[in-house]
Structure 1
Amino acid sequence: MEAPLARKFVNSSLAKFYKDSAIKMVRSWTHRSFAEFCDVNDCIYRLEDFDLSYRKCYSSAICATALANEIPYDHCKKTMEIFMYRHMYINLPMICSKSSNTGSFCSEESYGLFLQSPECYIRFMIPVLSEKTCSAECVSLWAHAQSNSPGCTRHLEYHAQRLTGITLKFMRDLISAAKDPEKREFMDHLPKHFRTFQQACMGPATTLAPGLVV
């Protein structure tokens, strides 16, 4: 009896009211935080400096401990530092970009999608390898986001595509140097082609080229 009652409450107008109210509160706080950060030009430069120090320390620690028996240290450290730099390079423009329609930050819009449906947000951000990804709920949520903030959804799609591309390249570069030959064979199972949620589920409206990872 508990599961049906729980589902009934989740779908009730009261639950929707509390969820919408909570999302508005979080988005308001998020907007203020991004505004404070982005209004100070020096913050982005300091973030870059922090990332430089962080990726050197993090890559050294991971490669010297967790991956020490799997990947030669020098190759591991270099590969991970390149990946982390590219990751930062893709993320930085997203931080302070704004929607021309709503005045919201694109990162704020991204968090809003996550709060509305974590499951759909994951589908928006990971490569599409199956048509099952196109659920009616997620298609509706993405279409609504496109209507409200078309620039930010294009930015988010590009962001997801680039992150997937560099992550797959990072995995190939790392695994190619694996000490165990059998583990190097795992590269053959990594996808070479992928599509974004927009490309797979929303038709040809996207301006991005189909994702091809080489």
Structure 2
Amino acid sequence: MEKEYGSCYGGTLCASMSQNFDYAKCKAAMEDNLPKSFRSQEHSACAKDGDFYCAQQLATLLMQNSKCYVKFFLPATPGTPDACPSECVNLWKKEQGEHPVCMTLLEGQLKGKYEISQNLTKQLILSNKDPKVRAMADQMPTTMHTFTEVCIHSQALLV
């Protein structure tokens, strides 16, 4: 099913961008990455932590602190002064204590989204018709860090 969606959406998106992108390469990139993106969401849709459905976790975080919600979803840069506001670290830890299953799932989803985004972006850059744009693929970062990697599990980044 995801493969069908990937093919349908990917083909449509790439057709609309065919002036700048090689259609076949763009479509292959979409077909490779869109199903992964869909799958990353579906496995947690019905997951529960006690009586709490993990699908509720996003709304809970958003309603508690919209600034932190945004921080959780954006890549974090180690060593930047505003990377880890204490209110966001405290919120994550509080929710991790209350809903460890859901927060662990969310953490995995966020990391997976970054990996899929990086892969898709690089493939799309390489499918661009302009050789100058394609040459920029080597300048892409090789990793993106999640809020939890930088602010909660930061010891792993100090190596």
TM-score (norm 1): 0.66
1:194 is paired with a residue whose SS is coil
Q: Which has the higher contact order (CA 8 A, sep 6+)?
A: 2
Give the structure with higher Rg (CA): 1
Q: CA deviation at 1:96?
A: 0.8
What is the one-letter code of the residue matched to 2:54? C
In 2, distance between residues paired with 1:186 and 1:123?
Answer: 27
Aligned: 1:118 with 2:94? no
Deviations 1:57-110 (A, max 9, x none): 221221111x1112111111121122110001111111111113xx11111112
Deviations 1:173-212 (A, max 9, x none): 111121101112332342212222112112358xxx87xx
Q: CA deviation at 1:118?
A: 2.5
Matched residue count: 155
How do 1:1-214 and structure 2 match up within 5 A? 49=1, 51-65=2-16, 67-100=17-50, 103-130=51-78, 131=80, 132-203=82-153
Instruction: Quote the sequence identity (%).
Output: 28
Q: CA deviation at 1:125?
A: 2.1
Contact 1:129-1:195 at 8 Å conserved across structures: yes
Q: Which runs of 5+ in 1 are unaligned?
A: 1-48
Structure 2 vs 1, CA of residues 64 and 203 (structure 1 numbering), >3 Å: closer, same or farther? Answer: closer
Structure 2 vs 1, CA of residues 133 and 204 (structure 1 numbering), >3 Å: closer, same or farther? Answer: closer
2:52 is paired with a residue whose SS is coil
1:179 is paired with a residue whose SS is coil
Q: Which runs of 5+ in 2 are unaligned?
A: none
In 1, distance between residues paired with 2:139 and 2:77?
Answer: 13
What is the one-letter code of the residue matched to 2:64? Q
What is the one-letter code of the residue matched to 2:108? Y
